[in-house]
Amino acid sequence: MAYLFKYAVDQGWLTPTIRVAFGLVLGAALAGIGFRVRRRERWFTPVMLGGAAATWYITGFAAFQVLHLVSFPVAFAFMVLVTVFTFAAGVGQDEPGLAVLAALGGLGTPFFLYTDTGSVPGLMAYTSLVLVGTSAIYFAKGWRSLLWTTAVGGWLVVALGFRTEAFTDRIALQGGITVIWLLFALVPVVRALRGRAVPATEPTPEGPYRKEVDPRRQDLAVLVLGMPVIALFTSRAVWTVGDTLWGALALAAAGVYAVGARYVRGQQGRVLLSAVHAVTAAVLLAIASALLFEDHVVFMLWGIEATVLHLLVRQWALDDADPAERPAIALDVTAHILYAVVGIWMLNRLVELGPPERAVWNVQALADMAVIAVTLVAATAIQPTAARWYRLAAHAAILGWLAREFSPLPVGDGIVTATWGLYALALLVFVRPARNVALGTLFLAAGKLVVHDLSQVEPIWRILLFLGFGGVFLAVSYYFTDLWNASSRQS
């Protein structure tokens, strides 16, 4: 058959008009078969209807781009009709696969029919209409595959629109970005909030499509979190303005999502939705800090934010009587991730940044000490295992901070060793649970004195350090002897 078809084309028997007509008839035949067998062979119907839609899309593309038989308005109108037909078939047959095909065809139509005369405003207006339609179908049917297809497809269209610097094109791109953000920030949330009220009105597909409307699926959290972040940075790429504006917008958006988290938290059974809005607010707040302030301030604000998140998690856990209804887990994970970033940043600051001009009393040192302090505060609000790691990290940061601040001073190495010893002694005396850490720090300082300071510190200071550490270890030995004797008498 393929040979005969090629032979007919070579002989000129199949003119371009006949080929286009053949494609139209073939699509109609496939659609007719699909509708005819929908009662007897339900599984076969979407296959035929999908084949019909694909055939018509290919025919429209070929008629305009390859064979040049029709004008752009005619080809565009035909492709729109095919998209509307496929959407209607998908909704009518309860087949999300057809709706996904229609979304792909609809979003791809401007590129199938691409011409040099196309405009970004027209592209954004058409894409917005398609996304409004797909969002309405998702709101009615709950097909997540359609939602994700249109979300990804919409951002791809926006990315392809970055081709010109014209002001009107920027306005159009910003409009498209805003539409995508609002649609995918509001429609899934509103549907989830009203979902339990009318479950009977939404038929659940059978077979592989059952999970399409499964309320237990949690992938919407990624969508809710990703939309504002993508919208913010895409808008920032469109406009060449300072970061102050985008930081202010991110801060405002963080406030909106925080209010949304509070509102959703009051709705029964919406734990995940509340948590993801709170996480989104936290992420936007961190982004706003990075855009509005300099490095030292950002570093300090991120540490403070992570601590506040941990305190909120603790408060939520106390407020919620039912442990299963605590939306704080995601927020707790976010705080830990933010603290991990802050910890890596702290390590970089302690190792890579040069010595300060003035020890201790400088912005860098004060910011670092503020983060260490809030880390210790956060350790009081989290689980014991995590709290031990937080305290250990803060302890290591204090040692590094002392080394960085005092090393540049005259006799700096000796001062660092002395401050380590005094710090360890303070822990030993005033922080009873940290005695093991204090002893380890004393031995670390003594090891530094023997290994490093013997060759780097002047003799007089070495003598004083050895005398001081000898006295400290003697006092510690008497202290522990008394402690052990007291414990023996009590037992």
Domain that holds residue 467: 411-491
Distance CA 204, CA 248 (A): 43
Task: Specify if 213 maps to a domain.
Answer: no
CA angle 49, 183, 88 (to 5 degrees): 20
Residue 344 has what pLDDT? 92
Residue 250 has what pLDDT? 94
Site of tokens 């401007």: 110
Task: Specify if 76 maps to a domain.
Answer: no
Residue 448 has what pLDDT? 72
Residue 286 has what pLDDT? 92
Distance CA 43, CA 304 (A): 56
| C-alpha pair distances (Å), 184 with each of 146, 178, 474 | 12, 10, 68
* Phi-psi category of residue 269: left, alpha or beta, with phi > 0 → left and psi -120 to 50 → alpha: left
Amino acid at 28: A
Task: Specify if 487 maps to a domain.
Answer: yes
Distance CA 472, CA 438 (A): 12
* Cα distance between the two ends of the chain: 99
SS3 70: coil
Give the contacts of 113 (CB within 8 A, at least 6 positions apart).
60, 61, 64, 65, 72, 75, 76, 79
Closest CA to 341 of 380, 289, 381: 289
Task: Specify if 103 maps to a domain.
Answer: no
Give the contacts of 70 (CB within 8 A, at least 6 positions apart).
63, 64, 78
User: pLDDT tens string for the chain (491 positions)?
Assistant: 456 556 666 666 667 788 888 888 888 888 888 878 766 666 677 888 888 999 999 999 988 888 888 888 999 999 999 999 999 998 988 889 999 999 999 999 998 888 877 788 989 999 999 999 999 999 998 888 999 999 999 999 998 877 666 788 889 999 999 999 999 988 988 888 876 443 334 444 444 444 555 444 566 778 888 899 999 999 998 888 888 999 999 999 999 998 988 887 766 556 677 778 888 999 999 999 999 998 889 999 999 999 988 888 777 665 554 444 445 677 788 889 999 999 999 998 888 776 666 777 788 888 989 999 999 999 888 888 888 899 999 999 998 888 888 877 777 777 777 888 888 878 877 777 777 887 788 778 777 766 666 566 666 666 666 566 666 666 666 566 655 555 445 54
Task: Specify if 483 maps to a domain.
Answer: yes
Rg (alpha carbons) of the chain, rounded to whole number: 33
Q: How many domains does the chain have?
A: 1
Distance CA 123, CA 293 (A): 37
Residue 370 has what pLDDT? 92
Q: Write down the pTM of the prediction.
A: 0.76
Amino acid at 353: L
DSSP, res 71: -
Task: Specify if 473 maps to a domain.
Answer: yes
Task: Specify if 418 maps to a domain.
Answer: yes
Tokens linked to 68: 């040049």
Distance CA 406, CA 358 (A): 9
3-state DSSP percent of the chain in helix, strand and coil, to 5: 80, 0, 20
Distance CA 193, CA 266 (A): 11
SS3 65: helix
Task: Specify if 489 maps to a domain.
Answer: yes
Q: Please, are residues 286 and 337 in contact by the beta-carbon 8 Å criterion?
A: no
Distance CA 394, CA 401 (A): 10
